[in-house]
Structure 1
Amino acid sequence: MQEEHIIKILNDAVQGGKNAAFVTVISADGSTPREAGARMLVYENGETAGTIGGGKIEALAIEKALECLKKGLGGKFEFELTPRGIGMACMGRMEVFIDVYKSPLKVFILGGGHVAQKLAGVLTLAGLPYSVADDRKEFANRDNFPDAAEIINEFPHKAFKKSKVDADTYVVIMTRGHSLDNECLAEAVKTKAGYIGMIGSASKVRHILPGLKKKGVKIDKRVYTPIGLNIGGKTPGEIAVSVTAEILKVHYGKDGAHMRIGELKV
């Protein structure tokens, strides 16, 4: 496959919102299936375009590419094409670099109230793009959400039809009332959103979830409610920090623990 063609395939994938890893052979010594410069595209579902030589070396490269896609981080990897290395008798060495092209995390805020406005500010500071939906134009407007990628003046639970929600979308539900929150949650779980958080007290959550389940709403592991990390504080600004911290924690797959090194001796 010609280089121009595979780059076009990559561009089309990125434009279409598909996540992909670009594998490039950066060095090849001894006997190897392909030379430096060979390229291959690997999608999240394991499908590929192009080749770096086929066989076991390509299978291992695909495995590494899928790991990189999951982590959202690429890197340089070396394969020894020997019986001791990867079980091949070529007696060569191949080094590849994997670039990850992943759709950026984006937040979809349902509700334009005071907490949502504070959340928007914290998201902007964190460099996270967001959109907001609220039928009340006096709340969902450019004055309150100056950095929004999109403002949808529609009932929040109906806004999913007007916005692209995929696995890289983090949905945050914080509308003006419990019943509207419920409707938003019921619609959100039907989407491919990677994260669905809903504001509310623990007692509220324990009260409404059984009712939603009885109605056939599937509450899966994407749902985080009450939303946010337990860092204390109840003001809109503090809640916004808590929610943003949880979004980042989920996105990066971290545990949210302290980073300090034990007891520091001064």
Structure 2
Amino acid sequence: MKEITDIIKAYQKATKEKKKTALATVVKVEGSSYRRPGARMLVTEDGQLTGAISGGCLEGDALRKALSAIVQQENKLITYDTTDEDDAKFGVQLGCNGIVHILFEPVIEADELNPIAFLIALQRKRAQAVLATLFSLTDKLQLGTSLLFRNEPVLSTIPKSISDEVIKDIQEVFKNKTSAFKVYEQKTQHIDAFLEFIKPPISLIITGAGNDARPLAEMAYLLGWEVTVIDGRPTHATPQRFANASSILVSKPENVLGQIQIDEQTAFVLMTHNYNYDRELLKYLLATNVPYIGTLGPKKKLLRMLDELDLATQANETRVHGPIGLDIGAETAEEIAVSILAEIKSVFTGASAMFLKEKKKPIHVYELKKINL
């Protein structure tokens, strides 16, 4: 989601400066690639790039293709086949041995349903959504970003001839919470669709505004997470100390839950260094469905809190991560922040947090998955 936020900001800046732009989106990958479907990059007519569609090796040629789309004012689908030696001759070398399909869409400001309008509508509300991008691997018809769905269509430019079928498939994607690819038939044309399931960014609630919380808040912001800092001390919970936090609250434990929103992308980190504050807040959190709770400090501290609250069950001990973080030998506040963020990320993605070199399956779990709804 951070990439989308950065793209929107870059587009708005370019618009003020009267610069034309194009949006490049990875719509399909066969084999290995540095970026997966859904990766995006905004290109301005003077060559400024925001976002990324590869590790840097495609951007040079993608710039030329984007400029062509801007000049011709039409969508273009470009395929980069890194298994083809001819691509290597032209300098397009991903080192990944895969085929990458990228859709280039000129962004026409006067068009109220241009691709950036869909991204702005997506960002406007913190909720799960499906974004449909239509293209064709066999025909010239490249419809582009075409539908935003949240329980019902929000924005749509889907052709009426396939609208019902697309929406039916999107409802299934929304239910399964898994992106999918689909092919539709319109008269004699084949329309490919990338139905992208998008979650809101992780909402990180940091209780404790000490010096060790500052690198955690800053690193989470760099990841594009929404950061809230809560502390009972007005001298510590200030915008001067946490400039990039979305929200800063001075609150007692019993008032915290009434001031925040909890959803399935919410993570709490208890690091006030005030035992009574953390224990009280833990009591209220365990009565909610918050999916991640982490406590700073030794395991015996967590077990003591649960015992005093009469909540020392196996389920609660499993649900609460204490001591918080992955074992990376962290010592400094910055290293501890890396450890904490890595654990939270692995929990929300269901990843193993193992060494990648020891992983037997593809790095991206859906790399070999071809979903036909």
Cα distance change on mapping 1:125 and 1:62 into 2, 3 Å: closer
The aligned residue for residue 78 of structure 1 is: 182
Name whichever of 120-129 and 245-254 sits farther off.
120-129
* Residue 291 (structure 2) pairs with residue 194 (structure 1): yes
Superposition deviation, residue 152 in structure 1: 0.8
Select 2:127's aligned residue among 4, 14, 18.
Answer: 18
Cα distance change on mapping 1:213 and 1:64 into 2, 3 Å: same
Tell me which amino acid in the other structure corresponds to 2:212: V
Residues 78 and 93, structure 1, Cα contact 8 Å, conserved in 2: no
Residues 24 and 37, structure 1, Cα contact 8 Å, conserved in 2: yes
Distance 2:238 2:133 in 1: 45
Residues 270 and 294, structure 2, Cα contact 8 Å, conserved in 1: yes
Distance 2:207 2:216 in 1: 11
Aligned-CA RMSD value? 4.0
Distance 1:117 1:38 in 2: 38
* Residue 228 (structure 2) pairs with residue 124 (structure 1): no
Tell me which amino acid in the other structure corresponds to 1:78: K
Superposition deviation, residue 136 in structure 1: 0.9
Superposition deviation, residue 246 in structure 1: 0.9
The aligned residue for residue 274 of structure 2 is: 177
Gapped runs of 5+ residues in structure 2?
1-111, 360-373
Distance 2:144 2:210 in 1: 53
Residues 185 and 198, structure 1, Cα contact 8 Å, conserved in 2: no
Pairing of 1:115-264 with structure 2 (within 5 A): 115-214=212-311, 219=316, 222-260=319-357
Cα distance change on mapping 1:10 and 1:199 into 2, 3 Å: same
Distance 2:325 2:265 in 1: 18
TM score, norm. by length of structure 1: 0.68
Superposition deviation, residue 208 in structure 1: 2.4
Superposition deviation, residue 181 in structure 1: 0.8
Residue 114 of structure 1 aligns to a residue whose secondary structure is: coil
The aligned residue for residue 58 of structure 2 is: none
Cα distance change on mapping 1:42 and 1:211 into 2, 3 Å: farther
Cα distance change on mapping 1:79 and 1:65 into 2, 3 Å: farther
Distance 2:349 2:213 in 1: 23
Tell me which amino acid in the other structure corresponds to 2:209: G
Tell me which amino acid in the other structure corresponds to 1:150: S
Residues 303 and 312, structure 2, Cα contact 8 Å, conserved in 1: no
Residues 157 and 180, structure 1, Cα contact 8 Å, conserved in 2: no
Distance 2:223 2:124 in 1: 24
Tell me which amino acid in the other structure corresponds to 1:148: A
Superposition deviation, residue 255 in structure 1: 1.0
Higher relative contact order (CA 8 A, sep 6+): 1
Deviations 1:191-236 (A, max 9, x none): 44332212221112222223334499x8386532221112223433
Tell me which amino acid in the other structure corresponds to 1:228: G
The aligned residue for residue 83 of structure 2 is: none
The aligned residue for residue 194 of structure 2 is: 97
Deviations 1:29-68 (A, max 9, x none): 9xxxxxx89976654xxx544995657x86555434444x
Residues 201 and 224, structure 2, Cα contact 8 Å, conserved in 1: no
The aligned residue for residue 92 of structure 2 is: none
Superposition deviation, residue 161 in structure 1: 1.5
Cα distance change on mapping 1:227 and 1:261 into 2, 3 Å: closer
TM score, norm. by length of structure 2: 0.51
Residues 133 and 156, structure 1, Cα contact 8 Å, conserved in 2: no
Name whichever of 235-244 and 94-103 sits farther off.
94-103
Q: Size of the alignment, in residue pairs?
A: 236
Residue 95 of structure 1 aligns to a residue whose secondary structure is: strand
Distance 2:333 2:144 in 1: 52
Residues 130 and 173, structure 2, Cα contact 8 Å, conserved in 1: no
Tell me which amino acid in the other structure corresponds to 1:102: K
Residue 97 of structure 1 aligns to a residue whose secondary structure is: strand
